Amino acid sequence: MDLSLIREDIDKVDKEIIELFQKRMDLCEEVAKYKLSVGKAILDKGREDSKIEKVQTFVDDESMKVALSDLFRQIMSSSRKLQYKFMEQNSATVRAECEIVDKIETQGAKVCYQGIEGAYSYLAMKRYFGEDVDGYNVPTFDAAMKEVAEGRADFAVLPIENSTAGIVNDTYDLLMKYDNYIVADLVYEIDHALLGLPGAKVSDISKVYSHPQGLMQCSHYLDEHLDWDRIATTNTSLGAKKVLSDGDIHQAAIASREAAKVFGLEVIASEIRNEKNNATRFVIISKKRSFAKDAKTMSICFEIAHEAGSLYGILSHIKYNGLNMTKIQSRPIEGKMWQWRFYVDFEGNVNDAAVLNAMRGIEAESTYLKFLGNY
C-alpha cells in the first residue's frame, strides 16, 4: 500500500467535491434571486431539517450519519450567508434608521451622570465633554437612562465594564430596557484611595464605604484589614460624602483623589487597587441614532433558540463576513429560567457592506435582535 497514491486519490476526490460545491453555491444564487422576488425568508428551518434527515438515509453507519449531518449543516449555513449577500439591498434596516455625522455634536449639550461630584462618572463626563459641560447628577443608572429617554438630557455617562472587576450588569440590562444608543465610549484610569477625615490614620479606621465595584477592586488591601466593616454605597463619592457628614474619625471611604478635594478629606492610603492597570470603560448614551462616520465598533444584543449550535450559527455571520468580534457577554433573560441574551461587540461601521450582511443574517436567525450603537 502506497500512502502517496492514496493521498493522490483523496486529492482527486477533494477536487470533485470543490467543483460540486461551487455548482451548488451557483444554484443557491438562483434560489436567492427567487426568494428576493417573492419576499421569501432565507432561513427555511423545516426544509433544512428534512434535508438532514434525507441525507442520513444514504448511509447505515451511525457515526457517518452524524458526520453527514455536521457537513450538510455547514454547507447550508454557507449557502444562507451567500443568499444574504444577494438580499443586502433590502437589508439596510440599521443604516436607513441612522444619521451619519462627521462627529457627535456635544456643544451646549445637557449631560447627566449617576452619583455626585467627584464620582468617576463625573470625572469621565468632564474628560469627554470638557470642564464647562452643563452636567447634573441623578441617583441611579436607571434614572440617567430615563433622563435621556424622556429628553431632559442629551447624553448620559454610564460605566459599562472595569478591567479588573468585569462588567457593570445594570448598564447592560438598561440598554435593553430603554431605546437609547451608545454613541461614544472612553476609558478612564481608576486610582482608588482611602479617604478619611483630616488627621485620621489607617489605624483609626473600623468602617469603610464605597461602591461594590470599588470594594471589589480594592479587595486585596481590604483583606489586610479584616476587622473593618465593608459597607456598600450607590457611588464612591457618596461614601466620601458620608464620612464628611458623619464626622467620625473611624470611618473611611474608597474613592478618587478628586473626591477628597471636593469633600475636604485627606488621602490616608493611596494606590490601594488590586491591579495597577485598573480602568473603567464608560459609554456615552443618546436617544438619537446619530453615529460618527468614523465609528469603528458595533454593539448588538440578541436572543436565540435554546438548542445545540444556535450561538455558533449566529456568531458565524460575524466570522463569515471577515469581522473581528471584540467582546461577548451573556445576561439572564428575565422570566425565562436558564435562558440568556447575548451582548456582542465587533469591529465595523453601519456603512460597511460586511456589517450589513452580518446584521441581516443575525436578524434572520435570532429570535430577537437589538442594535445598541456604533461608535
Query: Residue 273 to residues 13, 202, 206, 232: CA-CA distances in angstroms?
Result: 61, 16, 19, 16
Quick one: average pLDDT of 326-338? 92
- Out of 72, 90, 108, a domain closes at 90
The Cα 234–Cα 215 span in angstroms is 12
Quick one: average pLDDT of 223-243? 95
pLDDT digits (tens, 9 = 90+) for 185-227: 999 999 999 999 999 999 999 999 999 989 999 999 999 999 9
Nearest to 198 by CA among 230, 243, 233: 243
Q: What is the pLDDT of residue 150?
A: 98
- The domain that contains 233 carries what CATH number? 3.40.190.10
Q: 96 or 41: whose pLDDT is higher?
A: 41
- The domain that contains 28 carries what CATH number? 1.20.59.10
Would you place residue 85 in the very low, low, confident or very high pLDDT band (cuts 50, 70, 90)? confident
Query: Could you tell me if residue 175 is inside a domain?
Result: no
First-to-final CA distance of the chain: 60
Query: Residue 358 to residues 178, 221, 300, 305: CA-CA distances in angstroms?
Result: 24, 46, 11, 18
Would you place residue 104 in the very low, low, confident or very high pLDDT band (cuts 50, 70, 90)? very high
CB 119 within 8 A of CB 259: yes
Catalytically annotated residue among 129, 141, 155, 282: 282
Q: What is the pLDDT of residue 99?
A: 87
Query: Could you tell me if residue 97 is inside a domain?
Result: no
Q: Which residues contact 148 (CB under 8 A, 6 or more apart)?
A: 112, 154, 155, 156, 178, 180, 285, 286, 287
Query: Could you tell me if residue 345 is inside a domain?
Result: no
Query: Could you tell me if residue 101 is inside a domain?
Result: no
Cross-sheet strand order for the sheet of 193-196: 229-232, 207-210, 251-255, 193-196, 266-269
Query: Could you tell me if residue 110 is inside a domain?
Result: no
Quick one: average pLDDT of 326-355? 92
Q: What is the pLDDT of residue 92?
A: 46
- Secondary structure class of 324 (helix, strand, coil): coil
Q: 354 or 96: whose pLDDT is higher?
A: 354
Q: Which residues contact 226 (CB under 8 A, 6 or more apart)?
A: none
- Out of 269, 291, 322, a domain closes at 269
59: domain range?
Answer: 1-90
Q: What is the pLDDT of residue 88?
A: 64
Range in 2-11, 34-43, 89-98, 154-163 with the lowest mean pLDDT: 89-98
Q: Across the chain, what does the average pLDDT equal? A: 91
H/E/C letters for each residue in 10-70? HHHHHHHHHHHHHHHHHHHHHHHHHHHHHCCCCCCHHHHHHHHHHHHCCCCCHHHHHHHHH
Q: Is 263 a catalytic residue?
A: no
Number of domains in the chain: 2
The Cα 205–Cα 220 span in angstroms is 17
- Secondary structure class of 285 (helix, strand, coil): strand
Q: What is the pLDDT of residue 170?
A: 93
The Cα 60–Cα 65 span in angstroms is 7
User: What is the DSSP-derived secondary structure letter of residue 147?
Assistant: H
SS3 content of the chain, % helix, strand, coil (to 5): 45, 25, 30
Quick one: average pLDDT of 124-144? 96
Query: Could you tell me if residue 82 is inside a domain?
Result: yes
Q: What are phi and psi of 158, to 5 degrees?
A: -130, 140
Query: Could you tell me if residue 197 is inside a domain?
Result: yes
CB 232 within 8 A of CB 218: no
Written as one letter, the residue type at 324 is: N
Nearest to 302 by CA among 334, 333, 281, 338: 333
CA 229, 158, 304, 313 dihedral sign is: negative
CB 336 within 8 A of CB 368: no
Q: Is 280 a catalytic residue?
A: yes
- Out of 90, 111, 128, a domain closes at 90
CB 160 within 8 A of CB 171: yes
Catalytically annotated residue among 280, 291, 346, 371: 280
pLDDT digits (tens, 9 = 90+) for 86-102: 766 554 455 557 888 99
Q: What is the pLDDT of residue 91?
A: 47
Query: Could you tell me if residue 287 is inside a domain?
Result: no
Quick one: average pLDDT of 25-47? 82
Q: 65 or 82: whose pLDDT is higher?
A: 65
